[in-house]
Amino acid sequence: MIDTAKKYNVSVIPGDGIGPEIAPPVLKVLETLSDALGGFEFKFTILEAGDAVKERTGVALPDETFREVKESDVCLFIAVGETASEVILPLRQKLNLYANIRPAKAYPNVANSRADVDLVIVRENTEDLYKRVEDGTEDWAVAMRVITRKASERIARAAFDLARKEGRKKVTCVHKANVLSVTCSLFKKACQEVARGYPDLDFSDIYVDACALKLVTNPKAFDVIVTTNLFGDILSDLTAGLVGGLGMAPSGNIGDNFAIFEPVHGSAPDIAGKNIANPSATILSAKMMLDWMGEHRASQILEEALIKVLTDGKALTPDLGGKAKTYDMAEAVSQKIMERR
Ligand code: ATP
């Protein structure tokens, strides 16, 4: 019999802290999904990067890891500790993964989650203060904020395209053009110009400080937010807080031909080694990966299985108010995939 299943070569960077505790059970969930649905298979290549490999070899992102990531179809990245800026920033920049997509969606039965949140932050991923052009002495320090028309238009288009694809209605540009009148004005203008090509979508803009307030008082006012790198970083932690914390916040770093999906959280050294990290942020990042690969049915079934586990409330990690271990919660998701009708 001819094997017609699509094969996806997925590079996986478990990293440090809670990363190696989350990776194996989540990969098992993905294998359960491909076994249950058929039609596609995963080949996972586990790669080293982060604090542990730097301690051993002096390099946080080994050449071989970079090469393997580049040669894979897509990458799943869990968490890197102190060396995060030596790993994920170069990966994003070298692979030109210019769009950082950070959804914030309320799921049922999640402790400390607002019920009325379903938005996506589309964050420019290659420039702004994250270019890390800094200088200083003991007495002064300066950082250069790089904003280009090309990158601003590209991220604006990514935001409008995402809004259309997901059936969303509204795009809001977040900036601080009243103070950063050169850099933010350029970004805002680029967004305004791109908006003209999408007359079917509402467009508005707001100052970042007002946006932070409104996200807390009335998150329903937002649908898709497009913003610069640093503002997006800060606001997406805020929106993660609206939906139950970093254990529930997935993300994708997306370019034209490649993508890296990763939970928003870091290596969480305070809970590492206890096997109590919430695997949901990585499961939801894997769901985004499946959508990016075009496996929409698998993505939907994975999300439905997670929702059932959350609703049942029997296998929740401590941050969600339960007592389950990371692998118990992931295993419960696999069970729901297998039991589905
Ligand atoms: P790093 O230096 O790697 O960024 P950090 O502790 O500064 O680590 P995070 O790892 O993002 O930042 O963790 C912030 C807080 O959120 C910590 O209290 C951590 O325990 C909690 N947290 C992060 N991820 C999870 C998770 N998956 N499940 C439960 N709690 C989490």
pLDDT in tens, 208-222: 999 999 999 999 999
Annotated catalytic residue 116? no
Annotated catalytic residue 130? yes
- Determine the distance separating the centroid of ligand 1 and the alpha carbon of 266, expressed in angstroms: 5
Q: Under 8 Å CB-to-CB from 317, ≥6 apart: which residues? A: 247, 276, 277, 278, 279, 324, 325, 326, 329
Q: Which residue, by CA, sits nearest to atom 20 of ligand 1? A: 268
Classify strands 224-227 and 202-207 as parallel, antiparallel or unpaired.
unpaired
pLDDT in tens, 114-156: 988 999 999 999 999 988 899 999 999 999 999 999 999 999 9
Annotated catalytic residue 107? no
- CB 122 less than 6 A from any atom of ligand 1: no
pLDDT in tens, 273-302: 999 999 999 999 999 999 999 999 999 999
Q: How confident is the model at residue 3 (pLDDT cuts 50, 70, 90)?
A: low
Q: Which residue, by CA, sits nearest to atom 6 of ligand 1? A: 268
User: What gap in Å lies between CA 341 and CA 335, rounded to an integer?
Assistant: 12
Q: Point out the catalytic residue in the list 105, 198, 237, 308.
A: 237
> By 3-state DSSP, what share of the chain in percent is helix, strand and coil, each rounded to 5?
45, 20, 35
**5 vs 167 pLDDT, higher one:** 167
- Determine the distance separating the centroid of ligand 1 and the alpha carbon of 265, expressed in angstroms: 5
pLDDT in tens, 4-30: 789 999 999 999 999 999 999 999 999
User: What gap in Å lies between CA 156 and CA 194, rounded to an integer?
Assistant: 6
Annotated catalytic residue 7? no
- CB 281 less than 6 A from any atom of ligand 1: yes
Annotated catalytic residue 205? no
- CB 20 less than 6 A from any atom of ligand 1: no
Q: Find the mean pLDDT for residues 176-184.
A: 96
Give Cα separations from 208 to 137, 217, 226, 299 (angstroms).
30, 14, 11, 32
- CB 152 less than 6 A from any atom of ligand 1: no
